[in-house]
């Protein structure tokens, strides 16, 4: 496993990050795997050299954080891993149980630390942009969380480039802790981030840690056009959100190119799609998910696949612009 700097920080993270959304409570989503299974994936990831784990308070209403925290305590040392979590989405029925107000962020970080069983997280991220809270309020609260020692760094996720640019400016102007990462929606069938967000991150030294690098499994090549056969896993069969994001005619054309190249290379389509993303400028550590052990093994093996310029051009050629997706 290779380790790289997280953006322009001195923090070293594995080239892949294990996303923990898949592990929690099936009561939240019926495709979520229970704790005993999730622990096996954390151990497998550790054995493969992954030291970077991403979760969020809203995943299984906190159960994902609890599972990760207990697994870290039992399977490794806290200082051997990089723990990232996120806040924004509702965690209760009250009007202040959501968003990025100072009140909610202070409650959210304390809740996450309690569930994780740690005294700090390495990366504390805002899960979305909150248009109802002044940006200055959010940024100052995040700065205070860093200064209090409850988070080492702060990151952002899924917003417009102008919003992120303004946040970076305000943090610098006020000498607050600035965002060191952008967790954005970026993969072979959704490349709108290349227009403004990725160039901004490159210019500002911000690490790009894409979510859904395989387009919620769509790039695995198992889903069929004009069919109700949406895949082989329970998540694929029930993931309505994926159908909102992908499945256009050009998306399927990209997948066909991925499958063709995978056949020539004698690897899986998922490995080709991930190898392409790892090659893109600014990408630090894509956030991968796995529901079967062989999936995790294959994705880590993709680190050894190097695509040439012609192969990348072939994969990219069918792409057609999309409307902005994934910011809500």
Rounded mean pLDDT for each run of 10 residues along the chain, 328 residues in total = 97 98 96 97 98 98 98 98 98 97 98 98 98 98 98 98 98 98 98 98 98 95 69 60 73 96 98 98 97 97 98 97 89
Contact 274, 286 (CB under 8 A): yes
What confidence score (pLDDT) does residue 224 get? 73
> Residue 300 is part of a domain; what is its CATH number?
3.20.20.100
Output the pTM of the full model: 0.94
> 324 lies in a domain?
no
- Cα distance from N-terminal residue to C-terminal residue, the chain: 33
Annotated catalytic residue 88: no
Residues 6+ apart with CB under 8 A from 313: none
Total domains in the chain come to 1
> 323 lies in a domain?
no
What confidence score (pLDDT) does residue 328 get? 84
What confidence score (pLDDT) does residue 222 get? 87
Domain span at residue 104 reads: 3-316
Contact 85, 54 (CB under 8 A): yes
Residue 12 sits at φ, ψ, to 5 deg, of -100, 130
Supply the Cα-derived Rg of the chain in whole angstroms. Answer: 19
What confidence score (pLDDT) does residue 110 get? 98
What confidence score (pLDDT) does residue 227 get? 58
> 321 lies in a domain?
no
Residue 318 sits at φ, ψ, to 5 deg, of -75, -10
What confidence score (pLDDT) does residue 7 get? 97
Between the alpha carbon of residue 173 and those of residues 138, 143, 167, 223, the distances in Å are 15, 13, 10, 48
> 206 lies in a domain?
yes
CA dihedral of residues 79, 6, 168, 54 (deg, nearest 10): -60
Catalytic residue among 23, 59, 153, 190: 59
Q: DSSP letter string over 180-245?
A: EEEE-B-BTTB-GGGTTHHHHHHHHTPEE--B-TTTTTGGGS---TTSS---SSHHHHH-HHHHHH
> 297 lies in a domain?
yes
Q: Is 96 exposed, middle or buried (0-12, 13-18, 19+ CB in 10 A)?
A: exposed
What confidence score (pLDDT) does residue 191 get? 97
């Amino acid at each position: 496993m290779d380790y790289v700097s997280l953006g322009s920080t001195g923090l070293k993270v594995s080239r892949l990050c294990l996303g923990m959304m898949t592990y929690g409570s099936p009561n939240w989503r019926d495709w979520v795997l229970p704790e005993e299974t999730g622990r096996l994936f954390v151990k497998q990831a550790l054995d493969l050299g992954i030291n970077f784990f991403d979760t969020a308070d809203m995943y299984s209403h906190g159960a994902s954080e609890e599972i990760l925290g207990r697994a870290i305590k039992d399977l490794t040392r806290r200082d051997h891993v990089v723990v990232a979590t996120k806040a924004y989405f509702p965690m209760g029925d009250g009007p202040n149980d959501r968003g990025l107000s100072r009140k909610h962020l202070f409650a959210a970080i304390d809740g996450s630390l309690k569930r994780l069983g740690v005294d700090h997280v390495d990366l504390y991220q805002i899960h979305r942009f909150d248009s109802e809270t002044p940006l200055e309020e959010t940024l100052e609260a995040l700065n205070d969380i860093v200064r209090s020692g409850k988070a080492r760094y702060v990151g952002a996720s899924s917003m417009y480039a102008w919003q992120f640019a303004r946040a970076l400016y305000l943090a610098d102007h006020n000498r607050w802790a600035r965002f060191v990462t952008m967790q954005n929606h970026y993969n072979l069938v959704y490349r709108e981030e290349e227009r403004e967000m990725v160039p901004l991150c490159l210019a500002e030294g911000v690490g790009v840690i894409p979510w859904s690098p395989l387009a919620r499994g769509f790039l695995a090549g198992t889903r069929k056009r004009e069919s109700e056969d949406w895949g082989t896993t329970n998540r694929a069969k029930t993931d309505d959100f994926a159908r909102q994001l992908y499945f256009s005619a050009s998306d399927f054309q990209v997948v066909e190119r991925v499958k063709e190249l995978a056949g020539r290379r004698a690897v899986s389509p998922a490995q080709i799609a991930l190898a392409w993303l790892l090659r893109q400028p600014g990408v630090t550590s894509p956030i991968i998910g796995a529901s079967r052990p062989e999936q995790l093994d294959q994705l880590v093996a993709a680190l050894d696949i190097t695509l040439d310029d012609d192969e990348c051009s072939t994969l990219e050629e069918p792409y057609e612009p999309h409307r902005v997706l994934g910011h809500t």
